[in-house]
Structure 1
């Protein structure tokens, strides 16, 4: 399988205390996002369960179904797949530290860096994970993960 962040589907009908308890077991920092959007539209990063619930209520009212994931701190990387082969790993650095819609399409200061990972074992793991996603989703031709 492919490692993914721990997450819960947000259900506005559940009691706040019940959701808060579940979130406390999930993480200390959270990513709230719509299930059916892309380009980081509607995504929030928050630092506590109550803020996660408020963000999820807002997200749900605007976009419908949403999820709350554990936030994983680290570098933003992407791997293209072309005809079943991994392309070079790209590290993405935005001015704000969050590669959101603005950083993707508006801000010209986002950097796309090659060769920032020099550990062959790590490169192999990253490429294997990208290929596993590509194959698990039944992609063909090109994909980016």
Structure 2
């Protein structure tokens, strides 16, 4: 695998965390894999990740503050070796766009479970739980030991 893109709904919560964490562990393990993230929707295009995502990532040694939301394109689906959806809804949306090289992040550690969207829940705890899920699954995806 030479490239992977993580895709959630708005590209301001889950997929930026996944991108940021993946970049961190790939760098630490001297692996050369292109990583990106995007959203299936266009509501937040150009915006930074939400404050809670930036904070939970920063609390875990990952800086995602310079990322900006973008919408996934059909070109992304052709150019990336692996397209990773964060939940069933994103998976279905990506399938309808023609993605063939697609899987769910939860397939790498949570028996295919969705990584829930913390944006729709009150409080910071949801972001912490999502970060933990992403950390486990991304480590398994790239077959690295938990850091």
TM over 0.5, shorter chain: no
Larger RCO, structures 1/2 (Cα 8 Å, 6+ apart): 2
TM-score by length of 1: 0.28
Higher helix share: 2
More strand by share: 1
TM-score by length of 2: 0.28
Report which of the two structures shows the higher radius of gyration computed on alpha carbons. Answer: 1
